[in-house]
Every structure is written in structure tokens, then in C-alpha cells.
A and B are shown apart, each in its own frame.
Chain A
């Protein structure tokens, strides 16, 4: 039995189709990374799988329980930390966790022990009797994570758990996520717009763009699918035509192998085997053709290259493009922070 399953999920908001036929399966104990730019549909899918939102069509289940027909059973099995940590600022951390525990049917010694355990896990023991309005953003996220863990859920949904956090807080959350899997064997469904987060944490990654899963697999397998090294060359806008012509000619003459060539905002990305060797060929060729170019680099493929290969655009660029649309149909505020390349 899958921990999480979605079959052909569709969700429309008026005329906008935010989720367009998404199917996925997550095994028990797996960390499943759901990677995509703002507005791609990540949060909408999380809201459907956590019973907050009904799909327009299709179905979803958690540990075999349908999210529409058995929502209360599903809610007992899952813990959820949403992207925006919705916490009551007037309560103290302890009051919030106590209320949360009671709503999960915990009481007495078990509730007290669980509060102690989860607050130690997220490192908030000293702040538990302070009102939440005095917490920093990182502390709120950690409290939200603690509240999601209180009833020992078998499946944990973390919707962009580190968006907007400083690097230190982000590293702390990463450690806790790894620990959760090691200690409790929890299944973790992790949405993120950070490439390195998916790469670091996830056993498998699904890349979502415009409401559809465009690639799915282990990070290594996805990067291997690109099948080549990546050469990025920055070119001034007025030189793009000349650069493309020069590169195409190098490929036609056999000096460069016939790898995929994609235009980017900065210039061109070329997918070729033996990157370092072909880098020299490319530089010589561009120079000979009189093309003025800027920075040139060669690297192993990243998940961003997988995203580029699958969608024809970079994550960061898609993120910027998607922000206006995002406001229109999906409750995913624009994220902050550096994105990995």
C-alpha cells in the first residue's frame, strides 16, 4: 500500500486550471520532494491531499484512505506544516500545542510527554511559555513543525518548510526532517522551490510546472537523464543570433558533439558529454566567429538543468513569471531567499 497516492487530480479555480491531471505514488518511509516554482500547483495539491480542498476531479488517498470520503481518518494519520505557519499569536507555544494535542484526542501524561518530546526535537523548550507573537519567523516554523508532529503522524506534509528562512534556520529544519525519518520512519511529502533542498533531502523528486508533473524519479536518475555536462555561456542580447549560428556551425562541422542547445535569459545552455574538453572548443569557436561573450562555465547537471530540459525554462525564471498568476489562483506567496543553480 502506498503512503500517498494521487490519481489524475484536477483542480480548477474558475477558468484557471491550477492542477492538471497529477498522478503520483509515495512509498511508506520515503521522503518525496515536490519541486516547482511559485504558482506551479504545489500548495494546491498539498491542500487536496491533506483534506483542506476538494479536487475538481480525480482522487487522492493516504495510507489507503480516500481524502474526500474519509477526511477525518486521513487527518488522524497526517501531520501538516503549511507554507504560511498559521499560528495564534496570542497563545503561548505551550498553549498552542496543548490545544492542538487535545483536538487530536491526546490528554494527560501522553500529551505532556509528547509536548516535551516535540519541543526538544525542534529546539524550542525555552520558548514554550512565551507568547507566539514574540517568536521569530524561524521559531514559528519550528513550532508549526512541532505541532504537526505532536500526534506522531505516519505521513508528514511539509509545504515549503524553509521558504523565507535564513540559512541557519534552514539547516536546522533540514536536520530535523532527516531525524524524523531516521527516528520515526515517517513518510514525508516535502514541497519546495529550492533545488538544493530537494537534492539534499528527497529520495525521489517530482518536478511540477503549470499544474503538471513533468519529471519524476530519484535526483540522481533525473540528473543522469540529462545525460551530459552543462555548459552555460553568457551572451549579450545583440550577439545571440551570432552565437547560436556559431555554435550550430561547430556542431554541424563535428567540432562540437550534437548536444541539445537551449536559449536562456543570459545566453545559451549546451548539453554535451565531456564538458571540460568541449568548453575549450566552444570558446575557440565563438572567438573565431567574432562573437562577444561573457562568463562561460561547465558543470555537472543539477535539478535546475533537469527542469530546463523538461520545461525549456529555468526554475528562477519560471518563478518570476509565475508570481502574477500565482496570486490569481493559488495561495502561495512569493518565496524569499537564494535559489540553487
Chain B
């Protein structure tokens, strides 16, 4: 039914000389900084989640060393198996980030709508969450590095440069993985589906030279490992610990960058869909 024009006319209150709204464009950077700050606050407010995310990587780290450490060092010629395993543990932790979880809770709880009603760049709602996850990955990496040092991990060359390189590679990989989880959150709005993205990490990381060097592998497993881009991330991460091999490191960064580019593209598609759906 078509409504008639209002019959109430102007009602006492705002006149034509009344002040305008105070809202003004804040800019993308300001929006991203504000959303990132909130994401980091959320991470720091739930230290229990942070601790739980570290339990499994630490468990695998310790068990692998206990099960294979002596064999690897005495029969396979790996000088320090704890050092060999540390990158796996750190990458494992990086994949445990909860960027999508925080976002899907916002969507399910209505806070995503609240933020979407502001004039902020909507992409800042996603980018800020990604930066928050980078902060979490940084914390995980530092804690595991320290734990590694305590149990005997040693860098073959410059420890500072090696640590910075390892963390940089982990951040590049971690943000790509967080983007998967965020894409699922945006596409589905489902808490359960978002939490399940962790599963894809298992084939990605365990079809790699996670337990043994690639040159000791044979058959279909070796072929699968060689085809997995994560293999090159793992090898580059190890290269920071066992002496810097420029070509290996470059391949690792390239693989992590391609992985992240792919997952960002998925996130962008999911983001567009979410915005269109309303």
C-alpha cells in the first residue's frame, strides 16, 4: 500500500539551524587501528584461550622429541631434533589462531551488524581482525621460541636474525591461515564450521617433512610432500635454525605468500557475499 504524505509536518525540536551530526570520515587506517585494538584487547582478555592454543603444539613437540629424538640424532644424522621440530610446533600454533572464531561470534551475536552500521570502511572489520591474529601468532611464536631455548634448541648461526626470520615467515603463514578461518566465518556465520577449519591444517602440515627430512622419504608420500606448498614453508623455517640457505628461504616465503594470497582472495569473496547478504 502506498502511504500518503505525512500529515504531521514538522514537529517541535530540530530547526533548520540545528547542528549537523558529529560523524566524520575517520579514514581506513584509523578504522583498522581501532578494530585491531579491540581484537588485541579481546585476545588479552582471554588468556585461557591463549594457553589452550599452546597445549597441543607443545604436546606434539615434546612427544615427537621423546619418540624420535634419539633415533633421528643417532641414525639419521639430525644434529638436534628439538631444533628440527621447533618450526613445526610454531607453525602448528600459528594455525591455532582464532580470528574466525572472534568474527563469527560477532556475526552470531549481532555485533558485526552494529559495527557495519557505522561509516567505517567495512574491510577494516576484517583487516583489524587479521592484525589481531598476527598479534596472537607473534605471542605464540615468542613463547614457543623461549620454550625451545629452555629445552635445548639452538640456532646454528645468528640467533636474533634467525628468530626474526622464523617469526616473519610464521606471521605470513599464520595470517594466511587466519584468513581461511575468517572466510569460513563470513561465508557461513556458523560457529561450528568456523571452528572446524582447524582440520585442514592437519594434511597441510603433516604431509610435509614434519618428522623427517624430505630426502629420507620415498614413494607416494614423498611425491605428496613435494607437491604440498607447506613443505617449502617448513623447510624455510628450518633453514633459519640450521644455517641460512637463501634459496630455501625464498621458496618458503613464496609458498607462504601464495598460500596467503589465495586465502585472502577467498576471504574477499566471502566478505563481499556477507556484505551483499546483509
Measured CB to CB, the residues of A under 8 A from B are 2, 8, 21-31, 47, 50-54, 72-73, 75-78, 80, 82, 84-91, 95, 99-100, 102-106, 110, 114, 144, 147, 151-154, 181-182, 184-187, 203-204, 206, 212-214, 216-218, 221
Contact A29:B3 (CB < 8 A) given known A76-B23, A82-B113, A82-B114: no
Contact A102:B21 (CB < 8 A) given known A27-B8, A95-B41, A185-B14: no
B 13-34 contacts with A by CB, 8 A? 13-15, 18-26, 30-31, 34
Q: Which residues of B contact A144 (CB under 8 A)?
A: 114
Contact A87:B46 (CB < 8 A) given known A23-B3, A102-B30, A185-B14: no
CA distance A87 to B110 in the complex (A): 7
Taking a contact as CB atoms closer than 8 A, the residue among B14, B38, B276 that contacts A99 in the complex is: B38
Q: Is the CB of A52 within 8 A of B6?
A: no
Q: Sorted from nearest, which 9 A-B pairs have the closest CB atoms?
A: A86-B110, A185-B13, A185-B14, A53-B278, A105-B24, A76-B23, A103-B118, A103-B120, A105-B26
Q: Which residues of A contact B10 (CB under 8 A)?
A: 27-30
Q: Is the CB of B1 within 8 A of A29?
A: no
Q: Which residues of B contact A203 (CB under 8 A)?
A: 8, 11
Q: Is the CB of A80 within 8 A of B117?
A: yes
Residue of A27, A80, A103 with most chain B CB atoms under a 10 A cut-off: A103
Contact A102:B34 (CB < 8 A) given known A50-B117, A86-B110, A217-B7: yes
Taking a contact as CB atoms closer than 8 A, the residue among A24, A186, A206, A216 that contacts B13 in the complex is: A186
Known A-B contacts: A25-B3, A30-B8. Give 7 more (CB < 8 A). A29-B12, A54-B278, A85-B110, A103-B26, A152-B19, A185-B13, A216-B1
Q: Is the CB of A204 within 8 A of B119?
A: no
Q: Is the CB of B278 within 8 A of A47?
A: yes
Measured CB to CB, the residues of B under 8 A from A are 1-15, 18-26, 30-31, 34-35, 37-38, 41-42, 45-46, 106, 109-120, 276-278
Question: Separation in Å of the A54 CB from the closest CB of chain B?
Answer: 7
Q: Is the CB of B6 within 8 A of A51?
A: no
Q: Can you list 23 pairs linking A and B with CB atoms under 8 Å apart?
A: A21-B2, A24-B3, A29-B14, A50-B117, A52-B113, A73-B119, A76-B21, A87-B109, A87-B114, A88-B111, A91-B42, A95-B41, A104-B26, A105-B23, A105-B25, A105-B26, A106-B23, A185-B12, A185-B14, A186-B13, A187-B14, A206-B3, A221-B7
Q: Which residues of B contact A86 (CB under 8 A)?
A: 106, 109-114
Q: Which residues of B contact A221 (CB under 8 A)?
A: 7
Contact A213:B22 (CB < 8 A) given known A27-B9, A154-B14: no
Q: Is the CB of B7 within 8 A of A218?
A: yes
Q: Is the CB of B6 within 8 A of A213?
A: no
Q: Is the CB of B119 within 8 A of A72?
A: yes
Closest A residue, CB atoms, query B19:
A152
CA distance A181 to B25 in the complex (A): 26
Question: Separation in Å of the B95 CB from the closest CB of chain A?
Answer: 23
CA distance A112 to B277 in the complex (A): 35
CA distance A83 to B13 in the complex (A): 26
Closest B residue, CB atoms, query A110:
B22
Residue of B4, B13, B120, B278 with most chain A CB atoms under a 10 A cut-off: B13
Q: Which residues of A contact B1 (CB under 8 A)?
A: 21-23, 212-214, 216
Closest B residue, CB atoms, query A181:
B13
CA distance A52 to B34 in the complex (A): 21
CA distance A181 to B13 in the complex (A): 6
Taking a contact as CB atoms closer than 8 A, the residue among B15, B22, B117 that contacts A152 in the complex is: B22
Closest A residue, CB atoms, query B26:
A105
Q: Which residues of A contact B2 (CB under 8 A)?
A: 8, 21, 23
Question: Separation in Å of the B34 CB from the closest CB of chain A?
Answer: 4
CA distance A27 to B4 in the complex (A): 12
Q: Is the CB of B22 within 8 A of A151?
A: yes
Q: Is the CB of A105 within 8 A of B119?
A: yes
Q: Which residues of A contact B113 (CB under 8 A)?
A: 52, 82, 86
CA distance A86 to B117 in the complex (A): 11
Q: Is the CB of B41 within 8 A of A103?
A: no
Q: Is the CB of B24 within 8 A of A31?
A: no
Q: Which residues of A contact B30 (CB under 8 A)?
A: 102, 105
Q: Which residues of B contact A54 (CB under 8 A)?
A: 276, 278
